[in-house]
Amino acid sequence: MNAIVSAPDLAGALAGPHPPVLLDVRWQLTTATAAGEPPFDGRAAYEAGHIPGAVYVDLDRELAGPPGTGGRHPLPDLGEFGAAMRRAGVSAGRPVVVYDGGQGWAAARAWWMLRWTGHPDVKVLDGGLTAWDGPLATGTTVPEPGDFTPEPGGRGLLDADGAAALARSGVLFDARAGERYRGEVEPIDPVGGHIPGAVSAPTADNVTEGGRFRSADELRDRFRELGATEGTEVGVYCGSGVSGAHEVLALAVAGIPAALYVGSWSQWSTDPTRPVATGPAPQ
């Protein structure tokens, strides 16, 4: 099953007899803003204009737990996550399409959460809202409640020890920008660098200038060159398990299964017992 859907194909599905549940997960990484500039408000952006029928999902509150020892975006309480998805109209027997403002990171986090917890049919709108040229609706959509109950799978999730082991036994991709991997800058977390053995694979290189994914063949070639050869176990981490989900999605487009270390660098870098590597080499 393809993990992404084009805007024309989504428009056709929404006009059909069995439209998918549509989730709007617009979000931006919270960093310091210019004086007097308010932080990004995903709900306000949604209410100002969204694909008709879409329901807003808050990444920070519904797709992640409170920041802490598990990182900046740890796994949410699964009971609360399930309740949020049911409020959004998600049911196990109905397809789901997720989109965000265009970057794809937040939509990929929702895709990963739903897939990991057992939903059989979830896709991300390739290019997000910027790819949509149809009408927009304002205000808020209140759907019929769904029936989805999260049932996490045994695979697809890494903890810190698992990520460290995979960096030695398989391939562990670091989806952050190269300068953060090398430790040259670190704008968010307390320490710069990367998990020893991890390979730099910025998720920004998986998309075109327009924000749409490269072809499956291009992605497959890229990941193979980086070490994801046939039979190799693959994992991904990033800053806090959001852009890393986007890389897991790109790997899925390429036909390569991968696990996500949700705590990612925001968890690893706050543990003084964890080693840190710097520079361009994995070790």
Mean pLDDT, rounded, for 91-105: 96
pLDDT at 166 over 60: yes
Give percent of the chain with pLDDT exceeding 90: 92
- 8 and 107 together in one domain: yes
Is 276 part of any domain?
no
The answer to which of 23-32, 132-141, 212-221, 250-259 has the lowest mean pLDDT is: 23-32
* Catalytic annotation present for 139: no
Is 140 part of any domain?
no
Is 275 part of any domain?
no
Choose, from 96, 238, 248, 253, the residue flagged as catalytic. Answer: 238
Task: Indicate the residue among 114, 131, 148 that finishes a domain.
Answer: 131
- Domain count of the fold of the chain: 2
User: Per DSSP, what are the bridge partners of residue 68?
Assistant: 71
Is 247 part of any domain?
yes
What pLDDT, in 10s, does the model give residues 3-38? Answer: 999 999 999 999 999 999 999 999 988 654 445 567
The pTM (predicted TM-score) of the whole model is 0.95
Is 199 part of any domain?
yes
Q: What is the pLDDT of residue 155?
A: 77
CB hemisphere CA count around 210 (13 angstroms): 10
What pLDDT, in 10s, does the model give residues 59-83? Answer: 999 999 999 999 999 999 999 999 9
Mean pLDDT, rounded, for 243-253: 98
pLDDT at 54 over 80: yes
Across the beta sheet with 122-125, what order do the strands follow? 4-5, 122-125, 96-99, 21-24, 55-56
For the domain that residue 258 is a member of, what is the CATH number?
3.40.250.10
Is 123 part of any domain?
yes
- 11 and 119 together in one domain: yes
- 215 and 170 together in one domain: yes
Give percent of the chain with pLDDT exceeding 70: 96
Q: What is the pLDDT of residue 32?
A: 45
pLDDT at 273 over 80: yes
Q: What is the pLDDT of residue 206?
A: 98
What pLDDT band is residue 39 in, cutting at 50, 70 and 90? confident
Q: Which domain covers residue 242, as residue numbers?
A: 157-268
- 111 and 183 together in one domain: no
Average pLDDT of the chain is 95
Rg of the chain taking only CA atoms, in angstroms: 18
Q: What is the pLDDT of residue 1?
A: 66
Name the token pair of 132: 């949509």
Q: What is the pLDDT of residue 33?
A: 44
- 59 and 8 together in one domain: yes
